[in-house]
Amino acid sequence: MSWAVTLDDVGRRYRAGGRWVLRGVDLEVRAGTLLRVEGGNGSGKSTLLRLLAGVEAPSAGRIRGLPGTRGYVPERFPAALPLTAAAYVTHLGRVRGLRGRAAARESTRWLERLGAGPYAGTRMRELSKGSSQKVAVAQALVGRPALLVLDEAWTGLDQSARAVLDEVVRERVAEGGAVVFVEHDPARLAAAPDAVVRIAAGGLAERAERGPRARAGTEPRPRTPRLRIEARGTPGAGAPAGLPRGARCRVTPEGVLSLTVPAAASDAALRTLLAAHPGWHVRSVREEDAAREEDAVQERGGPVGPAREEAGPG
């Protein structure tokens, strides 16, 4: 089945005459594609996802071709519902058209696949944050909705559940569903998206299209995001041993270390630095591009501020 959701000059604001949270968005999401939405805090990513999930109607423009069933994982899922995890997911399965036992079976299957099987019978308000996030993911997957909208769905999941979700997303796309996601970890599904949409200051600024993979014989290899870690150690110390593969390391005689690693390996690199003897004092973790720009500004004699600290992935 082939379908496409089209957003035509879509805008959203929460009261008449209020601030536009999102404005002038033109977007198409086709069946069988994976779309990543990027943007800073408060740029309207979550609002765009709620529009795509059909939870909200746009204040301006039109959305056409929304498939009948959508799955939506909200950014925060405070599951203070008086139902058990299994009962809740089963209800959502029925809402998506599964009948009687099939709904219960599928709900159990998803909960077990995500590793939430042991607490399927636990009331949702008694679940831990990570466990209720698994329920949030399971309710979106049950009944196999055509369009899956994930708003930082990986946050709070344990490693194995994250891997399962990665796998499910690939499966859904391969089966002809569409998946739209927001995720703060730049390495998440980095090689997979067919398109990346970046939202800047309440509108779509750019769209990097890679075309549906079904047609593209050879997928252009994406540039893996890299992080630069800067640290200070004792003068004369050499490069620390045991850095992850793919790390580029430079140490000045004064003991200033500059390390460039793939984003996915940054946690491992930081752990190595912190565990090393003599120790390294981490001064900043930045995206490589940002670091390069700042260094260029410094070299030109521009304003010199303290190193901007950014959270690493994971």
- Contacts with another protein by CB under 8 A lie at 50, 53-57, 59, 68-83, 87, 91-92, 94-97, 136, 139-140, 143, 145, 149
Give Cβ neighbours of residue 302 (< 8 Å, ≥ 6 apart): none
Q: How far is the CB of 69 from another protein (least distance, A)?
A: 6
For another protein, give the closer residue by CB, 79 or 291.
79
Scanning the structure block, which residue is given the tokens 């029925």?
94
For another protein, give the closer residue by CB, 134 or 226.
134
For another protein, give the closer residue by CB, 139 or 266.
139
Q: What is the CA radius of gyration of the chain?
A: 22
For another protein, give the closer residue by CB, 56 or 287.
56
Scanning the structure block, which residue is given the tokens 């390294």?
280
Inter-axis angle of helices 85-95 and 129-141, nearest 10: 20
**Interatomic CA distance for residues 265 and 94, integer angstroms:** 42
Q: Facing residues of 148 across strands?
A: 71, 179
For another protein, give the closer residue by CB, 50 or 134.
50
Give Cβ neighbours of residue 127 (< 8 Å, ≥ 6 apart): 79, 85, 119, 135
Q: How far is the CB of 49 from another protein (least distance, A)?
A: 10
Strands 20-30 and 4-13: antiparallel
Q: How far is the CB of 87 from another protein (least distance, A)?
A: 7
Q: How far is the CB of 99 from another protein (least distance, A)?
A: 9
Q: How far is the CB of 36 from another protein (least distance, A)?
A: 19
Q: How far is the CB of 186 from another protein (least distance, A)?
A: 25
Structure tokens at 20: 């536009």
For another protein, give the closer residue by CB, 131 or 266.
131
Q: How far is the CB of 97 from another protein (least distance, A)?
A: 7
For another protein, give the closer residue by CB, 59 or 260.
59
Per-state percent for the chain, helix, strand, coil, to nearest 5: 30, 25, 45
Question: Is it true that the peptide bond before 278 is cis, omega within 30 degrees of 0?
Answer: yes
Grouping H, G, I as helix, E, B as strand and the rest as coil, residue 48 is helix
